[in-house]
Amino acid sequence: MTTPSTSFYTDFIPVNRKKRKNKSRPAKEPLLAIIQRLRDELLSAQDNDWLPQCQQIITESFVDRPAPEQIICLGLGSPAASPNARAQLAFLIVISQYLHIVST
């Protein structure tokens, strides 16, 4: 007498390797294109006044100080691996352009 659990495995064939030949993978968007798209979205967000508020806060913080010549970014994370890091990098690029800081 066979039990339901043993009859279930009678047709099982172990597979040593998956067939991966000719498997088409969707093309990944280049990282630079992603960052530029995020930057453009940030600049063109018409219903969002978040960016102008950030720019105003930054402008007001430099009223009594000389304008910054460079930006040092610590702890950003990997833009290639993290969507948050990509968004932060896009914001950093927008702010550095707003402050006329040339990237090196």
**Does any domain span residue 21?**
no
Contact (CB, 8 A) for 69 and 62: no
**Residue 68 scores a pLDDT above 80:** yes
- CA dist 93 and 83 (Å) reads 15
Cα–Cα nearest to 101, from 80, 78, 60, 73: 73
**Does any domain span residue 43?**
yes
Q: What range does the domain containing 92 cover?
A: 29-47+70-104
pLDDT band at 84 (very low <50, low <70, confident <90, very high): very high
Cα–Cα nearest to 77, from 94, 89, 93: 89
Cα–Cα nearest to 96, from 67, 71, 77: 71
Contact (CB, 8 A) for 97 and 43: no
Number of domains in the chain: 1
The separation between CA 70 and the C-alpha centre of its own chain, rounded to angstroms, equals 23
Claim: this prediction has a pTM higher than 0.75: no
Residue 38: the pLDDT is: 92
pLDDT digits (tens, 9 = 90+) for 35-57: 999 999 988 877 778 889 999 99
**Does any domain span residue 3?**
no
**Does any domain span residue 5?**
no
pLDDT digits (tens, 9 = 90+) for 87-102: 999 999 999 999 999 8
Contacts of 45 (CB under 8 A, 6+ apart): 51
